[in-house]
Chain A
Amino acid sequence: MTLIATESLTKRYANGVLALSEFTVQVQPGVVGLVGANGAGKSTLIKILLGLVEPTAGSVRVLGLDPRTEAEKIRARVGYMPEHDSLPPDLAAAEFVTHMARMSGLPKVAARERASEALRHVGLYEERFRQIGGYSTGMKQRVKLAQALVHDPDLLLLDEPTNGLDPAGRDAMLGLIHRIGSEFGISLVVCSHLLGEVERICDSLVAIDGGRLLRADSVATMTTVSDVLAVEVSEGQPELAAALRAQGLPVREESHLILVPLTGDGTYDQIIGEVARLDLPLHRLDLRRHRIAELFATAAPTGQEAADV
């Protein structure tokens, strides 16, 4: 079953802002990264999927349902974790998540049980009777995830789930998201402006810019194409570049760096080999994490075409 399918989806707000334009994409179940800069249209897309915002034109289906006519059914089967603070400080986490489970239609007893379960899965079991106001940012993010997970949705929509987290909290959150996708059997759409973050946990990526679909592909195809090794030598840069070209590598030079597309583990050996042969002082050899900007700069403008993930 297709998880999400949109066809020429367009949203123009009353103030004239074009948030989505001719957006066509098909997303299969799994962990999907929705990447784009701030204001690219990610949140608008999420709100359309939830039936909270009416699209101006085009069609959209979530879990095979139309948000315009079956929003209630969709919202019963989808969990949503918003980007911003959305927790009452004066309630205990267990109580709040229980209340939210009931808002999703779970009977009283089941709501309490599943709230405890959800808080256990996000790692807040022992603290669940403490007031949310006293929680750290990382713990609050987990409560937000727990309330989205509590009614056992078929699809989770997470808007910038690592916002405001320190590196350790970030890793824990990403690990948790990955586990939800791989072990819980729940599909996720993870919105982020950090490509490096989502590519670690996602099966497929949808890149969006200025309301247009930039690219939609599986992570495997996307990253192998754009991974680049950056080589820095203190001297002899032209010689090394020439030598690598002679090896048949499509080398690019960027001021004091030589950029070599990574095609496999052999690429490292080739570079090290050439550096050793020329006896050059190697300063740096690292995998350049492509940033979202680069992906946008190099991606083919596929905005008008249908894309399959």
Chain B
Amino acid sequence: MSESGVIHDIGYQRYSGPRLGRGYAVRSLYAHSLRTAFGLGRSGKSKIFPWFAAGIALLVAVIVTAVRAQMGKPVLSYTSYADAISILVVLFCAVIGPELVSRDLRSGVLPLYFSRPLTRADYALAKLAATVSAAWLLLAMPLTIMFLGGAFGAGGAKEIWTEVGRYAAGLGYAALFALLFGAISTLVGSLASRRAVAAAIIAGFFLMATAVSGVVSGIAFATDSTALQHTFGLLSPATLLQGVHAWAFAEQPGDLETIPVGGLGPVYGLVFAGVVALCTLLLLARYRKVAR
């Protein structure tokens, strides 16, 4: 029908069914955003990147599982898997975080949300949770393939239990990954209304931070300074996570070498929690102001 077409009127029906309120609205927003992250219910174009990233992550898992079956021992542990593909997680978050928040900022749709039962904080937290969940799923799907492969090759019930424990630790470490990168990318996305700009800032930040911590680690090992060797990891998100890995997670067969943390493990844990909390608070503050 065209612009000047007739407006049909075949009677208006009042709605007398249930109204499920704020909690339901927040859950729906979370589910909708999580689907959006993987391009579900959207055009084919928006499915390309998330599934390309997921494809690479799954491919790595399949190869690792196949090699393990051939060699009879794990070549990459569940926890080190996330460290190994950290750059992929960074890229995924750099695209998905802004995708979920910048788009709404740009199209001006926020007043439509805020004039409904859910609050500004509800909106921000639902979006954050969706980004974090999407990043976690990106890691959890390949980890599950690795687990299935490992469980089939296991000799008995006891070995399977050990495998379950290591798998669970891997999922837990993946959650920390998702939290850190998800929180940073959602925050940056909420500050820039152009997705490409936000993605570039996030990716640039991770590259810069990695370079800085790399240079400092070079200095630390060249000068044999133990203090510097134990602290340079705090300078970049990826090494910060490695520090938490080295401190809080039990060794698994197939672990990659993590950075040395000495007795500073708890500091890595605290800095990690601090960064996530700070990003969340800044995100909430941002949404208290936006689209007044």
Contact A87 B109 (CB under 8 A): yes
Q: Which residues of B sit under 8 angstroms from A304, Cβ to Cβ?
A: none
Known: A123-B5, A127-B1, A185-B14. A76 touches B43 (CB 8 A): no
Q: Which residues of B sit under 8 angstroms from A151, Cβ to Cβ?
A: 15, 19
Contact B116 A104 (CB under 8 A): yes
Name the interface residues of A83-121: CB closer than 8 Å to any CB of B: 84-91, 95, 99-100, 102-107, 110, 114, 117, 120-121
Q: How far is the CA of A107 from the CA of B108 in the complex (A)?
A: 25
- Chain B residues with a Cβ closer than 8 Å to the other chain, count: 44
Q: Say yes or no for A260: interface residue by CB 8 A criterion.
A: no
- Kindly specify which of A169-177, A244-252, A261-269 makes contact with the partner chain: A169-177
B49-79: contact bitstring with A at CB < 8 Å (1 yes, 0 no)? 0000000000000000000000000000000
Contact B43 A100 (CB under 8 A): no
- Kindly specify which of B25-33, B171-179, B253-261 makes contact with the partner chain: B25-33
Known: A82-B112, A103-B29, A107-B18. A125 touches B8 (CB 8 A): yes
Known: A90-B42, A110-B15. A78 touches B115 (CB 8 A): yes
Q: How far is the CA of A106 from the CA of B5 in the complex (A)?
A: 30
Contact A169 B117 (CB under 8 A): no
Contact B32 A172 (CB under 8 A): no
Q: Which residue of B lies closest to A126 (CB)?
A: B1
Q: How far is the CA of A292 from the CA of B104 in the complex (A)?
A: 35
Q: Say yes or no for B152: interface residue by CB 8 A criterion.
A: no
Q: How far is the CB of B121 from chain A (nearest CB, A)?
A: 13
Contact A103 B116 (CB under 8 A): yes
Known: A104-B19, A105-B19, A123-B7. A86 touches B14 (CB 8 A): no
Q: Say yes or no for A284: interface residue by CB 8 A criterion.
A: no
Q: How far is the CB of A202 from chain B (nearest CB, A)?
A: 19
Q: Say yes or no for B9: interface residue by CB 8 A criterion.
A: yes
Contact A76 B29 (CB under 8 A): no
Q: Say yes or no for B263: interface residue by CB 8 A criterion.
A: no
B102-140: contact bitstring with A at CB < 8 Å (1 yes, 0 no)? 011001111111111111000000000000000000000
Contact A105 B117 (CB under 8 A): yes
Q: Say yes or no for A122: interface residue by CB 8 A criterion.
A: yes
Contact A99 B32 (CB under 8 A): yes
Contact A175 B7 (CB under 8 A): yes
Contact B19 A76 (CB under 8 A): yes
Contact B109 A104 (CB under 8 A): no
Q: Which residue of A lies closest to B115 (CB)?
A: A80
Q: How far is the CB of B196 from chain A (nearest CB, A)?
A: 15
Contact A183 B19 (CB under 8 A): no
Q: How far is the CA of A99 from the CA of B32 in the complex (A)?
A: 8
Q: Say yes or no for B20: interface residue by CB 8 A criterion.
A: yes
Q: Say yes or no for A136: interface residue by CB 8 A criterion.
A: yes
Q: Which residues of A sit under 8 angstroms from B42, Cβ to Cβ?
A: 90-91
> Which one of A105, A138, A166 has the greatest number of beta carbons of chain B within 10 Å?
A105
Known: A86-B111, A120-B8. A103 touches B41 (CB 8 A): no
Q: How far is the CA of A230 from the CA of B109 in the complex (A)?
A: 46
A36-56: contact bitstring with B at CB < 8 Å (1 yes, 0 no)? 000000000001001011000
Q: Which residues of B sit under 8 angstroms from A121, Cβ to Cβ?
A: 7-9, 12
Known: A121-B8, A123-B6, A172-B7. A103 touches B107 (CB 8 A): no
A139-170: contact bitstring with B at CB < 8 Å (1 yes, 0 no)? 10000000100011000010000000010110
Q: How far is the CB of A113 from chain B (nearest CB, A)?
A: 9
Q: Say yes or no for A290: interface residue by CB 8 A criterion.
A: no
Q: Say yes or no for B13: interface residue by CB 8 A criterion.
A: yes
Q: Which residues of A sit under 8 angstroms from B41, Cβ to Cβ?
A: 95
Contact B111 A88 (CB under 8 A): no
Contact of B15 among A80, A89, A106, A175 (CB under 8 A): A106
Q: Which residues of B sit under 8 angstroms from A106, Cβ to Cβ?
A: 15, 17, 19-20
Known: A105-B24, A169-B3. A88 touches B8 (CB 8 A): no
Residues of B participating in the A interface, judged by any CB pair closer than 8 Å: 1, 3-10, 12-15, 17-22, 24-25, 28-29, 32, 41-43, 46, 103-104, 107-119, 292
Known contacts A78-B115, A91-B42, A151-B15, then 13 further A-B pairs from the complex at CB < 8 Å, ordered by chain A residue: A52-B114, A53-B292, A75-B115, A75-B116, A76-B116, A80-B111, A84-B108, A89-B107, A103-B29, A114-B15, A123-B6, A169-B4, A183-B9
5 residue pairs of the A-B complex, CB under 8 angstroms, read A105-B117, A114-B15, A120-B10, A147-B112, A179-B9
